Amino acid sequence: MEKTPLSVAIITKNEENNIRSCLQSVSFAGQIVIVDSGSSDATLAIANEFGCDIYEEKWMGFGRQKQMAIDRCRQPWVLVLDADERIPPETSEIIKQIVTSPNPKAAGFFFPRKNYFQGRWIRHAGWWPDPVLRLFRRKAGRMTDAAVHEAVEVQGQTEHLSVFIEHYTDSRLEKILQKIDKYSTLGAQEAFLAGKISSPQGAFFRAAFTFFQDYFLRLGILDGRQGLTLAVTDSINKFFKYAKLSEMDRTRRLETEVQDHSSAGK
């Protein structure tokens, strides 16, 4: 099969359940770059089957990790993809047309993203159309340095496409709880470094509002039991993010008080 002048950048860690389908969906690309942060399963063996360029790097946060993958791309166009995402055939045809066009009118392209949870396409509570900028000229785009909620920034015109990316988010509750712990910590750290503060009461009210907003105002109730689960887990994530932020602020104030007392005693 003739390859397309496109590099696909993917970061991984223990993605053996996802990576094969992901790689099959972008097999038309001229290069696939994998930056792995310590997989202990079959992820890298599967990536080798597809002839991927594999690099192993310690974890630096989502933004920096993905930029390390982009930095290793050689083709003129880059597609950033997560291991649990897929490029449907109709989307791949549009991508091929864009990257082989002699004069594309944009430097970056947004895709709507179909998010699937527990077998259901989630259409409410902000989960659709969920536009994401993923395709861009290699010399025109780079990732933000954000440890979480990273994004591609492009110098130049961007365009929104109608063809979509598919996202099969992990539906196992034990994995969701692990992700909540990880993401809430990263979010709290970012907020703390930005000078924000919180309290346990503030964390509770933010969580309560998040559930009300997701489930009722943004119509998550129409997504059945999956919508209820997502509204609850989103509110739990919000609570722990701001509860951890409160804990960080309290620790900082205690350390400052100790230092002040120590200085006063000298």
Please name the fold of domain 4-168. Spore Coat Polysaccharide Biosynthesis Protein SpsA; Chain A (3.90.550)
Q: Which of 102-106, 157-161, 196-200 is least confident?
A: 102-106
pLDDT of residue 257: 86
**For residue 190, is pLDDT > 80?**
yes
Q: Domain segments of the chain: what residues?
A: 4-168, 173-264
Q: Which residues contact 230 (CB under 8 A, 6 or more apart)?
A: 117, 122, 125, 127, 214, 220, 223
**For residue 265, is pLDDT > 70?**
no
pLDDT of residue 264: 73
Counted residue by residue, the chain has a size of 266
58-90 pLDDT tens trace: 999 999 999 999 999 999 999 999 999 999 999
As a whole number, mean pLDDT of residues 79-102 equals: 97
Apex 183 CA angle, 178 and 198, nearest 5: 120
H or E element that contains 36: strand 29-36
pLDDT of residue 193: 95
Put simply, whether the predicted model's pTM sits higher than 0.85 gets the answer yes
pLDDT of residue 1: 67
